[in-house]
């Protein structure tokens, strides 16, 4: 899974970053500035009214930008491998049952 362009992430470190951040749930709230064209928002619970974040929450957001897709890709690869291994077990069980039926 990791290659030259995407170095391996340490998922234990990533989990510690998640656990150090403010606990969920987070909600997205409009900024409330009153401008009708404004598209900015705050993440309720971690963004203070002036836009500042605690360092733990900022690190969580910044690391999640690369860590979350990485973790999803690893999970998908692991699920594909489980499927492949299940198919292999099923095929071997069928071969074994056919041999036992012939004996």
The residues binding Zn ion (CB under 5 A) are 31, 33, 38, 40
Report the residue number, 5 or 49, with the smaller CB distance to Zn ion.
49
CB of 84 to Zn ion, least distance (A): 50
Cα gap 65→4, rounded to integer Å: 19
- What gap in Å lies between CA 29 and CA 89, rounded to an integer? 50
Q: For residue 27, how far is the Cα from the chain centroid?
A: 18
Nearer to Zn ion, 38 or 85 (CB): 38
At its nearest, how many Å lie between Zn ion and the CB of residue 11? 36
Q: How far is the CB of 34 from Zn ion (least distance, A)?
A: 7
Residues 6+ apart with CB under 8 A from 103: none
Nearer to Zn ion, 40 or 68 (CB): 40
Helix axes 11-20 and 55-102, enclosed angle (nearest 10): 140
């Amino acid at each position: 899974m990791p290659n030259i362009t995407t170095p391996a992430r340490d998922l234990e470190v990533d989990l510690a970053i998640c656990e150090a951040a403010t606990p969920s749930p987070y909600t997205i709230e409009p900024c409330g500035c009153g401008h009708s064209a404004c598209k900015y928002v705050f993440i309720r619970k971690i963004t203070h009214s002036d836009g500042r974040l605690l360092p733990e929450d900022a690190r969580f957001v910044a690391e999640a930008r690369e860590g979350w897709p990485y973790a999803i890709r690893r999970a998908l690869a692991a699920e594909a491998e489980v499927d492949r291994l299940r198919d292999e077990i099923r095929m071997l069980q069928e071969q074994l049952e056919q041999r036992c039926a012939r004996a």
